[in-house]
Structure 1
Amino acid sequence: MSVANKRAQARLKRQVRVRRKVRGTTGRPRLCIYRSAKHIYAQIIEDITGTTLVAASTVCKDVADGQKYTGNIEAAKAVGEAIAKKALEKNIKQVVFDRNGFLYHGRIQALADAAREAGLSF
């Protein structure tokens, strides 16, 4: 098994372990993060109905316009601010943070801090 495959398997194990405890309800939906090498994605999901309420990513033109490169901490901060702004417009103030098996540092932490500063509570 290659190193990349072992790393992916370890992330999936962490994802399952975290998802056992983290559930999004109507009053407090789940803020789910996905990070790739070039982009970062965030969406707020209500797990009871399985619907995505709000989504933002570096692929969206409104977030990626001012970014030179979309795979860095500055881009993650922009996504955090955008997801919080969209959530507050839909009257979502509290969420449950789901790091999706990724370690809480770097871009994940930057996105979470920017969302907190923009008004989300978790």
Structure 2
Amino acid sequence: MDIRGRTKQRHRLRTRRHARIRKKIRGTAERPRLVVFRSLRNVEGQLVDDDLGVTLLGVSTRSGTEGDAGERSGKTAEAYLAGKKLAETAVGAEVDEIVFDRGGYPYHGRVRAFAEGARDGGLRF
């Protein structure tokens, strides 16, 4: 199997994991779903109300992140700061409790840093 075949297979397996997760969790207006997407360079997060099918707000590491990420460095620090920024925006919009959707990715590295940033920013999940 060449490199493209492995990449497609990895994407296919992640999509299946995400579908399994989505069967179990659902975001509402009171408790929206925090969806995480991780690419090679960036991490994106969105708060989604599944009842209405709308995205309430979204943040990406592309939108510029500044601040103190503690002992984290590199892309992990950027993910932490993006999660914190999303949480501060959500708390400003009177959303303080969410359902976390890791998007089929393992809960470590940048996905975990994003979640920790959201928690430190004031979201509960």
TM-score (normalizing by structure 2): 0.88
Secondary structure of 2:62's counterpart equals: coil
> Of the candidates 16, 19, 23, which is equivalent to residue 16 of structure 1?
19
Per-residue deviation, 1:72: 1.1
Amino acid at match of 2:96: K
Amino acid at match of 1:17: R
- Post-superposition Cα deviations, 1:48-67, rounded to whole Å, max 9, x if no partner, equal 11111111101214x2x67x
Q: Which runs of 5+ in 1 are unaligned?
A: none
Runs of 4+ in structure 1 displaced over 3 angstroms? none
> Of the candidates 67, 87, 92, which is equivalent to residue 89 of structure 1?
92
Residue 35 (structure 2) aligns with: 32
Per-residue deviation, 1:115: 0.7
TM-score (normalizing by structure 1): 0.90
Q: Which runs of 5+ in 2 are unaligned?
A: 68-73
Residue 44 (structure 2) aligns with: 41
Residue 79 (structure 2) aligns with: 76
- Post-superposition Cα deviations, 1:15-61, rounded to whole Å, max 9, x if no partner, equal 00000001001110000000000111001010111111111101214
CA RMSD after TM alignment: 1.4
Amino acid at match of 1:5: K
Identity of aligned residues (%): 39
Q: How many residues align?
A: 116
- Partners in 2 of 1:17 and 1:44 — Cα distance? 19
